[in-house]
Amino acid sequence: MSVVGIVPAGGSGERLGAERPKAFVVCAGRPLVEWSVEVLSVVCDRVIVAVPAGHTRPGWVEGGASRSASVRNALAAAPEARTVVVHDAARPLVTRELVESCLAALMGVDGVTAAAPVTDTIKQTFPDGTVERTLERSRLWAVQTPQVFRADALRRALDVDEAVLAGATDDASLVEAAGGTIRVVEAPPDNFKVTSRADLARAEALLC
C-alpha cells in the first residue's frame, strides 16, 4: 500500500513579518517546512510539497489558489497513492508517533485528523454578536494536522469547484461534505501551528 505525504506550503509569511513564504522561514536553523518533511519521510513512501510559484524543487509541485487546491495539485502528482497524509508546514513539531497513530486509526473510516480537545467555553453567536447558545465543550475538538485519508475518498472530496476549495478550512471537512466519515485522534500539546513571531520563538526553543 503506497502512503504519500503531502505538505501544503503556500502560506505567505506576512503575519511572521517575513519576506518569504512561511514554509521557508528559518526555525531552529532550518526552513520550517523541512521539519515536517523529515518526519513524514520516515513514515511515508514519498512526500510531495506544494509551494508557491518559483519555489519548486525536484519532486515538489506548484500549489494552487487555496490550501485545498494545493493538496489537490499534489495528489494529482501521486496517482499511486492509496493512503494520504496531509500535514501543514507550519506545524514543525509533529512526531512520528502522532502520524502513525493517525494511520492506525484509519481502519473503518475515510479519514483521521489530529485534534486538541477544547478547554475554553465556546459560544455560538448571531451576526450581531449576541449569544445564540453555549456549545457542549466535552464534545468539541480543535482540528489540526496531520490528517490521514483513504486516497480515493480524498480525491472525490477535492473534485469540486474552486470556490468550494477556497472556502474549506481543512481537507477533513471536504471529505465529510462528500459523505465520508472522519475520526479524531488526540494530538500532543506541542503540535501547535506557527502563525506569529511568538509561535516561532516557542517552536525554536522546543526544537533546539
Q: Which of 200, 140, 165 is nearest to 50 (CA)?
A: 165
Q: What is the pLDDT of residue 21?
A: 83
With H, G, I as helix, E, B as strand and everything else as coil, classify residue 199.
Answer: helix
Write out the E strands in 87-140.
111-117, 123-125, 131-134
Task: Give the pLDDT confidence of 102-153 residue by residue, as tens digits.
Answer: 999 999 999 999 999 999 999 999 999 999 999 999 999 999 999 999 999 9
In the structure, what pLDDT confidence band is assigned to residue 49 with cuts at 50, 70 and 90?
very high
Which pTM value belongs to this model? 0.94
Does the pLDDT of residue 169 top 70, yes or no?
Answer: yes
Averaged confidence pLDDT in the chain: 94
The tens digit of pLDDT for each residue in 71-80 reads 999 999 999 9
pLDDT at 55 (0 to 100): 87
